[in-house]
Amino acid sequence: MSLYKSSPTTQSDSHNIDVTENAGIIIIGAGMAGSRFAIELARAQQLNDADVHPPITLISKESHVGYNRIMLSPVLAGDTAFDDTYLYDQSDYEQLGIRVLAGVSVDTMDTNQQCIELDNGQTLHYTKVVIATGSTARVIPFPNHKAKGVHVFRDSMDVSTLTEYARQGKTGLVIGGGVLGLEAACALAGQGASMTVIHVDAYVLNTQLDLPAAELLQAELSRRNVGLEVSANTEAIVINEADEVCGLSLKDGRTLAADFIVMAVGVMPNTALAKDSGLEVNRGIIVDNCMHTSCPHVYAIGECVELDGELFGMVAPVNQQVDTLVTVLKDTVISDPAMASNAPSQEHWQPFVSKPLSLKLKVSGVAAFSAGEIAFDDSTAEHIETLVYRQPTLNHYHCLYLRDNKIVGAVLYGDVNEGSFYSQLIMDNVDITPIKDNLLFGAAYCDLDALHSSTTHKSTTSDDKNNSKICDLVEEAS
């Protein structure tokens, strides 16, 4: 096991830290958000050599630093080696002067004294601290949920454990028919396990796909020898005398045999450290649009944060949060021996703006895409128009949901190449009347010049920004 890609060591570098030394900008959490922020902040600092910047210290609870958690599914499927999931090489951290402490966790944070205490007893002082503690896999407390054989699918250790079950040809159940649950089931079935997905709703991915697309996906699951139980409610996990999983009891009276169970029922933000430190916490750590928490000098990014009631579990918004915080902290300088920072100029800050998200399913060989609104109540549905394309022999299905000749949602299955095109039209709230007849066939079949001309004709000066977005679509398609 390696600390970084191509690194032979697994030991923490914490013994190199002098407890009297200020660790500068400390980043707690070295997942996709924390590691990327450390790298991007260091790069931004290097562009401004005129000032002396505080050092950057990256703390990782896991021994593996900065790997792409999304790539764990292909690792579990045997399609990718774990070493290929690292976002950066060890040399990237070293060349940028980032100090990495791996295999250690933060026990406490004193925001008055601006210091943290590690689980090895060390105390580090900070100029700024960034909480990037991510999220934890949710475990539903069914009876016997702590039994041997109940797992989640969240980190590298989970991959190792689940892979061993598959290699032994064990029988497994995945509770949860969302993206992660389907990825885990398909990966383990491909590795030799006998897998069945247990889903509480009427069809899988019910918040991302409409019924026709979901039915195509469920047929593909069957072809991959993945069983499926929908509208299935769990009563309890069944165990033997050794406290080992041996099945799952459903509320309809049936009991499904199993050697192991994987819970894939969502995640919960890791907020314990923030809450214990007196920060404002709701479902996630409360931040503003520049990633400030309720406490001075303390920031937060990634899956652990909450902004205007919204949580963030997708890569795109997390990367946007990283970019925002880099603009906020890149000009932090050492202004005295105590390393207090000068009041930063806010002129170049780039506030985070939440944007509509799209989903692309990552199961090897399965292509599905979803964006915008696809489910409507009865009163709204009366005003929704659908454009549908089907090619049964290829298992292709496209459905566009329109309101007032503007796309509000899109579901694609089989061929998802036009996903970004439709997603952009949704975000830009474009009137698609000039291209409506050819819209289902994609950007190449649409007269985007006519779309631009129509939009320009209808728009006032205040709509110049929207016009520029249409120009971008024209350029992308040409």
pLDDT digits (tens, 9 = 90+) for 191-237: 999 999 999 999 999 999 999 999 999 999 999 999 999 999 999 99
Q: What percentage of the chain carries pLDDT values higher than 70? A: 86
Residue 131's H or E segment, with its range, is strand 128-131
pLDDT band at 3 (very low <50, low <70, confident <90, very high): very low
pTM to 2 decimals? 0.85
pLDDT digits (tens, 9 = 90+) for 276-332: 999 999 999 999 999 999 999 999 999 999 999 999 988 999 999 999 999 999 988
Numbers of helices and strands, H then E, in the chain = 12, 26
pLDDT digits (tens, 9 = 90+) for 420-459: 999 999 999 999 999 999 999 999 988 877 676 665 555 5
Q: Cβ(207)–Cβ(370) under 8 Å?
A: no
pLDDT surpassing 80 at residue 334:
no
Q: Cβ(183)–Cβ(224) under 8 Å?
A: no
pLDDT band at 361 (very low <50, low <70, confident <90, very high): confident
Q: What is the mean pLDDT of residues 96-124?
A: 96
For 240-393, strand residue ranges (E) read 245-250, 255-257, 260-263, 267-269, 285-286, 298-300, 305-307, 310-311, 358-360, 368-372, 385-391
pLDDT digits (tens, 9 = 90+) for 404-425: 999 999 999 999 999 999 999 9
Distance between CA atoms of residues 44 and 98, nearest Å: 13
Distance between CA atoms of residues 120 and 87, nearest Å: 27
Tokens of 170: 């064990």
Distance between CA atoms of residues 270 and 283, nearest Å: 9
Rounded to whole angstroms, the maximal C-alpha distance in the chain is: 75
